[in-house]
Amino acid sequence: MIERPLYMSQLLSFKEYIFEKGTYNLPQKFRDYLEIGSFSRNKKYHVGMYNTIVKNLAENLKVRDIGRLERLLKSDGVKINVRTVESYLKAFCDSHILYKADRYDVKGKKLLKTLSKYYMVDVGLRYLLLGDRQIDTGRMLENIVYLELLRRNRKVYVGKVFEKEIDFVAEGN
């Protein structure tokens, strides 16, 4: 069994989301799910959650410039030391805001030490950070599938065969 944080059970799959919201106009419900996310709240909820997350991470990481941390989160071209980025990523993973998927060499049957990918705990947070300007449905779907695999108690890797990427290699029942 894969260890997941307790609040992971609060995240709704799309199936659970439409059960709660109804099945009328599924394409619109799916767009709403991408924008609002799997916590099934509203944008105001996400803003409050985001502000709490950033404040707590800034305190834990002893970040003096919260604006710089926010620009990093929004991918606004912030120049930052590699070790600092690594410590931020670790803190985000430790707080279960991001999930790390290690890269797995399918042919060599081993984990690789580099090129891991990170997925947001909730696509609504990603949408909040980037908005319409960088919405990429493919990445959002990849994030949703990753979370669904975790929800199903799978250990998930990003696969690699030679120079090609396999979205997911999942272990479990």
pLDDT digits (tens, 9 = 90+) for 57-70: 888 888 877 777 77
Q: How far is the CA of 122 from the CAs of 11, 49, 80, 110, in angstroms? A: 8, 11, 25, 29
| pLDDT tens, position by position, 87-113 | 888 888 888 888 999 999 888 888 888
How are beta strands 103-105 and 155-161 bridged, if at all?
Answer: parallel
Q: Is the pTM of this model over 0.85?
A: no
